[in-house]
Copies of this chain bind each other. A is one copy, B any other.
Amino acid sequence: MAKAKRNTGCPIAYSLDVIGDKWSLIIIRDMLMRGKDTYGEFLAAEEGIATNILSDRLRHLCAEGIIEKRRDPDNKKRILYSLTEKGLDLAPLILDMVVWSYHHDANTRASRAMVERIENDRAGLLKELRQKGRARASQPRRS
């Protein structure tokens, strides 16, 4: 994907260079909000990502240190993907998108309950998402 990094030091430009394509945040959403962790599960998303794009994005997200891959210890022909701390730190962004779309997309399927939780207990929800994400990773924790 996006080969050309703008590299201006601007945080918005950096974010867009790293996750500013049509698919990366869909994958991250699936991992963070829907507990998905395999290639096959990402492929089955209703948005319909192509196999080559998915492969490319997973590689890219690994290279950027946003996700990690390892073999499933239980089903050894499966590869498990999990969010790193850097990936988990994207949770606020995802939640903001939910709120924004809820208010401005007439066709949204975001639930009122979720939006109220985000607005009233943002910190608690973020903590919960982080814990679930860490549990899936089962990597050495750095904190």
Give A contacts to B, CB under 8 Å: 2, 6-16, 20-22, 25-26, 29, 46-47, 65, 86, 89-90, 92-94, 96-105, 107-110
Contacts and interface: CB of A to CB of B under 8 A. Distances in A.
A22 to B, nearest CB: 6
A14 B101 contact: yes
A14 B108 contact: yes
Contact of A46 (B2, B8, B92): B8
Contacts of A25: 12, 15-16, 20
Contacts of A8: 46-47, 109
A61 to B, nearest CB: 13
Contacts of A12: 25-26, 29, 94, 97-98, 101
A104 B61 CA distance: 13
Contact of A11 (B11, B92, B98): B98
Given A29-B12, A98-B12, A7 B89 contact: no
A103 to B, nearest CB: 6
